[in-house]
Amino acid sequence: MGHPVLGQRAEQITDVTDPELRRLVEDMVMTMIDANGAGLAAPQVHEPIRLVIFQAPISRADPGLSEAEAYDHTASLTVLINPEIEILSDEKEGGWEGCLSVPGLRGWVERPAHIRYRGLGLDGKPIERVAKGFHARVVQHECDHLDGILYPQRMTDLTKLIFESETKHWLEQNA
């Protein structure tokens, strides 16, 4: 948080066949896995381009979500180039979010619960999916990075911005 590239709008990718793009994706996947993240956007590794990677396994979902809400098999490891999001419902869903660019903190963020996203895969082929629950949250969180937005900017109640080490205590007290 604070690096200038994280506060700016990322540029469209014009050449999906660029070998450097493939190298960047490989590095981003390794970084995401090493950091135990659910997603990563190119601006987080100081590349101001419209590229995100994500995965939404049930093990990463908020406690209390049903399996159907938490996991969608289409949310396996995904590379999405020049993503676009369409909100499909006015319904919002709140959840705890963390971020590799805001280490050590968690915040309660309400986001649209049902979206469609589209973009290109690393092979240049179109990807279009409908997402709900944790899958939708991860996609929106990562795509926010492409517009220079970090999750605390989406929060409406900063009393729900807490240290990760206090999450268990906060949940117990507010259950």
Interatomic CA distance for residues 149 and 169, integer angstroms:
28
The sheet carrying 78-87 orders its strands as 39-41, 51-54, 78-87, 114-120, 126-132
142 carries an active-site annotation:
yes
Output the CA angle 107-108-109, nearest 5 degrees. Answer: 110
Among 22, 1, 25, CA closest to 149: 1
CB of 163 within 8 A of CB of 104? yes
User: Encoding tokens for residue 46?
Assistant: 């100081």
Instruction: Please report, to the nearest 10 degrees, the dihedral formed by the alpha carbons of residues 93, 97, 102, 107 taken in order.
Output: 70
Catalytic hit among 67, 86, 142, 172 = 142
CB of 144 within 8 A of CB of 36? no
Output the CA angle 9-13-16, nearest 5 degrees. Answer: 155
Catalytic residues: 142
